[in-house]
Amino acid sequence: MKLEQLQVDARPRPHAQAIDLGMALLREHARTVYLCWWALWLPLGLIVALLSPHGFLSWNWVILWWLRPLIERSTIFILSRGVFGETISVRQALRAWPRLLRKGWIRTLTWWRPIVTGRGLYQPVWVLEGADGAQATQRRRVLGARGAYGSAAWFGIICAHFEFVLQLALLSLLGLFFSSVDEMNPFLLLQDEFAPGRWENHLPLVGYLISAGLIGPYYAASCFTLYLNRRAELEGWDIEIALRRLLRRRQSLLDRGAAKSMLGLLVAGFCLVLPAPDSQAADCSKLPVPGDTAASRASAVSAQQRQLRASIDSLSRGQEFSHWECVTKWEAKTKVPEKIDTDEESWLSKLFRTRAPDLPVAEILKPLVITLAIALIVWLLWRNRRLLGGLLPAARDPERQIASEIAGLDIRPESLPGDIPTSVLQLWQRGQRREALALLYRASVSRLAHADSLEIAPGFTEGDCLQSARQAERQGLLSQPAGVLFAEITRAWQAAAYADRWPQDEQLRNLCLRWPPALGGQS
Amino acid sequence: MTVSPEHFTQAIEIARRLKSEIDRAVIGQDNAIQSVLACFLAGGHVLLEGMPGLGKTLLVKALAKTFSGQFARIQFTPDLMPADLIGHAMFDIKSQNFTVRRGPIFTNLLLADEINRAPAKTQAALLEVMQERQATIEGESHQLEAPYMVLATQNPLEQEGTYPLPEAQLDRFLVKVLMDYPSAEEELALTRQVTNNRLGDGLDVSSVNTIIKPDTVITLQQIVAAVRVDEQVVDYAVRIVRATRDWPGIGIGAGPRGAIALIRLARAWALLDERDFVTPDDIKQSAYPVLRHRIAMTPEAELEGLDPDRLLRGLLEQLPAPRA
């Protein structure tokens, strides 16, 4: 599961919004979902119609109703791939369908069927997670908490009402045609065996087939997005996605070399703080295979023992004993470390013992170490304060975008000449005033976007760039002379571009003169 | 109309002073003051939305005082009739003639409080007056005195028993301004000002000075209409409005009047920003008050908890700025 490929906005939503998201998702994949649903639903209806006993024809739709949860699994499968951007064809979905029925079907088709209207929330546990038994029970308990099951159940009841009304409407409409002119009865088809032996007795089944065929996918899709929402809540998908973006962004900053020193410090810090991993545990390939005990055994003392060992070895080689796995993980230390009993005294304790025997070393060192650790954390936070700003929900754009164009001007560094002021003045002297000012402005924006890492999105106007620069200046990320110069250049550019009002030669020369020290650093 | 740079400079200075005078009476609500003043200079009408007690009446009174204009306030109720607004002809027994009694709309600034509480025909009567700038009483047309601006208010809560304005009528308002609660510091300053040596809680605009006459306002509005707008900026405004028509989350986009309103407000905004030309930023800033009541969100967007401003922000961030 690659969360960054998720096609929906992963954020905790109210249950009503999550259900509504399912409707939007279904609309996106409606063709595949409905084709797949009907490809399974229609043959099932035909089989039920053919196999129904004669006196049961008016009620054979109940069998179809009973088997419906199995069809819903195809919808879950298609949408589960769809949310991650994978397009599933109807053929693929139909091929996968038998595989989806392996788990949880007994529960779904027996005692759950008449009472658990929110089953749609739990179906992905079997279909997608492949959980079974106690694990599935545990998952269901977690997913259904905080009112999620209640929402799914009520939504199931609402859908059932819609299906019932639609079925009733269809049957009533047809009933009017079948009843006699003198005795109009829309409920004629609902009466038991109104015309024994005739094909019209299958009409209730057809009514249900149509109504559930239209509304069923909505129920499955909405319960699926409710399930997704619960997982996003429980597993903090939004936070994970934000952190991954943060990591990418930090990586890009590190690549630029500005923060390489910080990485070194972090790595060094971690190396110092973390204990060295167990070398044997770290390399699973070096572990002996369980059962391979021949080498460690003493020689057999009797023929009976030899025979017994051979028997045990043959059993051990069986498939049920051949599986083994190596798990490496960090665990909190609970064991009290053994006291090292050594006569050798460390140079530090010797130093303190001889020079200052009464000095309480631990009491002095402890606050010192804690203070240093806090200072380190504060420094790291301060250093990365802009990166941390991205964690605030909905406050910033989740991903930093560096625009390549602002107000129609190419601001990529590679599009700029080496010596900006000289090029600007040359253009100005040649009478290409607009080009000269455009070059000066776009070089300034390019510098802010690429060297000073300012948040500049593609849709930014000149004013937005200026505001961004002012904010950076307030945060200390941009020097004051650079901020002032950028404001002047922006004003000059706006007056030229939108009012056809050009700066004096002297004014332009002044801007160019101040450009290298203020903004020309790394463009 | 050609306006000399000196006139522009004077107009900028007057606009700046107008704002500072209003700021004396109305504490906080900086954005609302700026938008209302811009709309006033652009010669449009304002739809104000905010909770009661945020200073809507005070703002209008203060604005009226800055140019010694007349001010009237009407509380819209379900039984308010068009004649209550416009006026009527009455038979005078002494003179044995019908005399016309003009309604409260004959003023410079009209505060139509809770416009959505009046029935549709009363709303329509007012909106017609806003559009035509004249009222007909007993078949006789009466011109409204310029400058004329209607500030209609709506309460975002208590929607029961109201008659929401239809989209076509909302379009007649140049801007929709949202008034939010003031910040803690602003509220503190406001409380101090209102309670300091003051009897009762009446609205006091005595600190506001009159700086211009109504005739000057008309000249000011003419100067605003002459603020320079580059072709690319006009193109940007049109592109924004057109983008609202097929933007995800927007069910009904803005009509052509949206782009016209954008340019009108952007001109006033430029003047308030002490410029005699419009930049794309003026358009971008104007887009929220001008378009937020001209678009209708899709039910999905409403269910998602989005609001028009958020949709517009997304649109403006992604729509490329003009190619200079």
Complex ipTM: 0.72
Tens digit of each residue's pLDDT (9 = 90 or more) over B12-63: 888 888 888 888 777 778 888 888 889 988 888 998 888 877 878 788 888 8
- Å from B276 to nearest chain A CA? 8
By residue count, chain B amounts to: 324
CA distance A377 to A400: 24
B278 and A498 in contact by Cβ < 8 A? yes
Concatenated DSSP letters for B253-275? ---HHHHHHHHHHHHHHHHHTT-
Nearest in space to A2 (alpha carbons), one of A240, A246, A251: A240
CA distance A419 to A443: 10
Q: Which of B276, B284, B300 sits opposite A461 (nearest CB)?
A: B284
Answer yes or no: are the C-beta atoms of A41 and A209 closer than 8 Å. yes
- Is the pLDDT score of B221 beyond 50? yes
Q: Which of A408, A460, A463 sits opposite B322 (nearest CB)?
A: A408
Tens digit of each residue's pLDDT (9 = 90 or more) over A314-347: 877 776 666 677 777 777 766 555 555 555 566 6
Q: Any idea where the domains of chain A sit in the sequence?
A: 3-235, 405-519
Whole-number pLDDT of residue A198: 63
Contacts of A491 in chain B (CB under 8 A): none
B321 and A460 in contact by Cβ < 8 A? yes
pLDDT above 90: percentage of residues in chain B:
9
Mean pLDDT (whole number) for B263-288:
90
B232 and A498 in contact by Cβ < 8 A? yes
Return the minimum-mean-pLDDT range out of A29-43, A405-419, B280-294.
A405-419
CA distance A182 to A192: 21
Cα distances (Å, whole numbers) of residue A106 to A111, A130, B246: 9, 15, 48
A461 and B281 in contact by Cβ < 8 A? yes
Mean pLDDT (whole number) for A266-286:
52
Q: Which of B277, B279, B324 sits opposite A409 (nearest CB)?
A: B324
Superfamily grouping for domain B227-314: Magnesium chelatase subunit I, C-Terminal domain (1.10.8.80)
Nearest in space to A229 (alpha carbons), one of A15, A378, A4: A15
Whole-number pLDDT of residue B189: 80
Contacts of B318 in chain A (CB under 8 A): 458-459
Residue type, B87: G
- Å from B108 to nearest chain A CA? 34
Task: Name which of B233, B240, B279, B316 to mutate to probe chain A: the one with the most chain A Cβ atoms within 10 A of its Cβ.
Answer: B279
B321 and A499 in contact by Cβ < 8 A? no
Give the confidence band of B3 by pLDDT, cuts at 50, 70, 90.
confident
Concatenated DSSP letters for A18-59? HHHHHHHHHHHTHHHHHHHHHHHHHHHHHHHHHHS-GGGGGG
Mean pLDDT (whole number) for B252-279:
90
Chain B: residue whose CA lies nearest to A496: B324
- Å from B1 to nearest chain A CA? 17
Chain A: residue whose CA lies nearest to B280: A461
B228 and A495 in contact by Cβ < 8 A? no
- Å from B204 to nearest chain A CA? 36
Cα dihedral sign, A391-A396-A398-A399: negative
Q: Any idea where the domains of chain B sit in the sequence?
A: 1-182, 227-314
Q: Which of A407, A458, A501 sits opposite B324 (nearest CB)?
A: A407
Contacts of A24 in chain B (CB under 8 A): 300
Map A450-477 to HEC letters: HHCCCCECCCCCHHHHHHHHHHHHHCCC
The H-or-E segment that residue B102 falls in is strand B97-102
**Residue B75 pairs with which residues in a beta bridge?**
B113
Whole-number pLDDT of residue B242: 93
For residue B111, the SS3 value is: strand
- Å from A497 to nearest chain B CA? 6
The H-or-E segment that residue B109 falls in is strand B109-113
**CATH classification for the domain delimited by B1-182, as one of 2.40.10.340, 3.40.50.300, 3.50.50.60, 3.10.350.10:** 3.40.50.300
Whole-number pLDDT of residue A395: 37
Mean pLDDT (whole number) for A375-391:
70
B281 and A405 in contact by Cβ < 8 A? no
Concatenated DSSP letters for B143-211? EPPSS-EEEEEE-SS--TT--PPPHHHHTTSSEEEEE-PPPHHHHHHHHHHHHTT-STT----TTPPP-
Q: What is the helix, strand, coil percentage profile of chain A, to 5?
A: 65, 0, 30
> Can you read off the two tokens belonging to residue B204?
């006091």
Q: Which of B277, B300, B321 sits opposite A459 (nearest CB)?
A: B321
Q: Please identify which residue in the block is written with the tokens 């409407």.
A: A169
Computed over every residue of chain B, the mean pLDDT equals: 84
Q: Residue B114's Cα: distance from chain center in Å?
A: 14
B324 and A499 in contact by Cβ < 8 A? no
B279 and A462 in contact by Cβ < 8 A? yes
Tens digit of each residue's pLDDT (9 = 90 or more) over A182-193: 777 777 777 655
